[in-house]
Amino acid sequence: MKLVYPAIFYENEDKSYTVTIPDLPGCVTEGKTFAEALEMAVDAASGWVLTELEDGNNAPAASDIKSVKTTDQNEFVNLVVLDMDSYAEKYGSRAVRKNCTIPAWLNTKAEAANINFSAVLQEALQEKLFAQ
C-alpha cells in the first residue's frame, strides 16, 4: 500500500529542517539537510501509520496539498510518499494469532517432523503474496 501525505517543512536558523505531518497528530521529526529531513519524515510517518494499522485502525486520509497552509515564510509544503508494505516487512513486529484447520494425519506427520506451523504459514503467505 502506498500513501501520500502533505508535510510542512520549516527551515531553522541553522539551515536544518523541522517537519510535521498535519494528518498524523504528533508526527514531528527533523533533519540537518532537506534530504535528511525528507527521509526522516517518510520514516516517522511510516512508523506512525504502521502503529495505527497494527492496532486495527485505518490509515488516516490525506489532506489535499492545496488545503495545507503555512504560517511562516520559512515554511513550505511538500509531499511524502510512504511504501507501507515495504516498511511493515522491515519494521512490523506485532504478531496476530490465527486459527486454522488441517487434516489430523497431516498434523501428526508435521508434529513428528518438528515443523513450526507458524513459520510455514508465514513463508507460504509471503510466497503467495509477494512472489510475482
DSSP label of 30: E
pLDDT digits (tens, 9 = 90+) for 43-68: 999 999 998 988 888 999 999 999 99
pLDDT single digits (tens) 65-109: 999 999 899 999 999 999 988 888 887 766 667 788 889 999 899
Instruction: Give the span between the Cα atoms of 65 and 62, in whole angstroms.
Output: 9
Q: What is the pTM of this model?
A: 0.69
The correct CATH number of 2-91 out of 3.40.50.300, 3.30.160.250, 3.20.20.210, 2.60.120.10 is 3.30.160.250
Domain residue extents for the chain: 2-91, 95-132
pLDDT for res 95: 63
Q: How many CA atoms lie within 13 A of 78 on its CB side?
A: 18
